[in-house]
Chain A
Amino acid sequence: MLTKKDILFKLFISTFSLSAFTFGGGYVIVTLMKKKFVDEYHWIEEKEMLDLVAIAQSAPGPIAVNGAIVMGYKLCGLLGVIVSVIATIIPPFFIISFVSFFYHLFKENRYVAFMLEGMQAGVGAVIVGVVYEMASGLLKEKNSFYIVIMVCSFLANYLFKINVVIIILICICIGIGQSLYRRRAL
């Protein structure tokens, strides 16, 4: 069994490295967290991970930081929150301090530009891979109601640009409605 100290140490190292390599915004870090904590360490289940993402998403603030907070709290309580938040903000803190100093050199270097351009395709592939795994898990449950929710929220966000917070609130209302309806039916 891992002791709490081991978990805190691993938590620090993994949130630190995820934050240091996460180009392209909060969702990338969330998908990488799924790979690390669900697939590799088996510390939490995939369903719990999705719940944690919903929490990270429904509060204000950067998703990467929020994701680190929920993950830290789930694994080690308040101490976990402190450890994972510090690990998440150290890399951007030092990178920005450094890059803002050499900004012009950095901006005009064409190798850096090629590297960053190519990494977008890699980031896209990481997200598509995780979405594919999670969506096929959901399809296997063969529950048409949840599939309709998935398709509708996709269309609402992608085509109609409806704000994420509103989509989450609507889903919460649907869940409450469903729960009340079931109780009455019993």
Chain B
Amino acid sequence: MIYIQLFLSFLQIGLFSFGGGYAAMPLIQNQVVDIYHWLSLAEFTDLVTISQMTPGPIAINSATFVGMKIAGMPGAIVATLGCILPSCILVTILAYIYIKYRHLKTIQDILKVLRPAVISLIAVAGLSIITTAFFKGNAISFDMLKIQMVIIFGICLYLLLKKKANPICVMLLAGILNMVYGILF
């Protein structure tokens, strides 16, 4: 039955996509395009484009998109549930263990080492977004630099750090500034 197939397929995607985001893409492509032929390669490329243009994790976006196309609204719900079920179980267990045992000396020591590493991982994610934003075609060279994006970035950072502005407002402002720039020049 199609609902069970959708559920199991996205269950695997949820269970084996470590590292989030783009790490999950080959896995999704394998299930959705290669194994089940629910989408053609061109449709999958469209899906990736839509995911980049809209908020939300790509795995959830694909589950909704594929489920909707194959079996309508119930399909989308079943696929999305399959996709998040492994997370719900595993992360809840980890959170339970964390809250129960975090006062233990050994766990404290482990967490102290993990915190600086997590800051770095967030920094790396930020850097890759900035690289995409600042340079045309992701080529890091001076003539590929989009000056207006650097200026918008500077304004946003100033508002965030000095004025403690709301981050969602800052993101929307960045979009509007670039739209104004695009219309003017």
Chain A interfacial positions (CB closer than 8 Å to B): 17, 19-28, 30-32, 35, 47, 50-66, 69-70, 73-74, 78, 81, 85, 89, 91-93, 95-97, 99-100, 103, 106-107, 110-112, 114-135, 138, 146-147, 149-151, 153-154, 157-158, 163-165, 167-168, 171-172, 174-176, 178-179, 182
Cα of A99 to Cα of B116 in the assembled complex, Å: 39
Chain B interface residue number, banded: 35 or more
Chain B interfacial positions (CB closer than 8 Å to A): 14-22, 24, 46, 49-50, 52-61, 64-65, 68-69, 73, 76, 80, 83-84, 86-88, 90-92, 94-96, 98-99, 102, 105-106, 109-127, 129-130, 132-134, 149-150, 152-153, 156-157, 160-161, 167-168, 170-179, 181-183
Cβ distance B126 to chain A, nearest Cβ, rounded Å = 3
Cβ distance A184 to chain B, nearest Cβ, rounded Å = 13
Cα of A158 to Cα of B91 in the assembled complex, Å: 26
Q: Across the interface, do B160 and A61 meet the contact criterion of CB distance under 8 Å?
A: no
Q: Given that A55-B91, A61-B17, A61-B87 are known contacts, is A131 also in contact with B24, CB under 8 Å in the complex?
A: no
Q: Across the interface, do B65 and A60 meet the contact criterion of CB distance under 8 Å?
A: no
Cβ distance B43 to chain A, nearest Cβ, rounded Å = 10
Contact of B125 among A17, A20, A27, A117 (CB under 8 A): A27
Q: Across the interface, do A66 and B91 meet the contact criterion of CB distance under 8 Å?
A: yes
Q: Across the interface, do B153 and A32 meet the contact criterion of CB distance under 8 Å?
A: no
Q: Across the interface, do A25 and B125 meet the contact criterion of CB distance under 8 Å?
A: yes
Q: Across the interface, do B121 and A96 meet the contact criterion of CB distance under 8 Å?
A: no
Cα of A90 to Cα of B109 in the assembled complex, Å: 38
Q: Across the interface, do A111 and B84 meet the contact criterion of CB distance under 8 Å?
A: no
Cα of A124 to Cα of B85 in the assembled complex, Å: 30
Contact of B122 among A119, A131, A171 (CB under 8 A): A131
Q: Across the interface, do A146 and B112 meet the contact criterion of CB distance under 8 Å?
A: yes
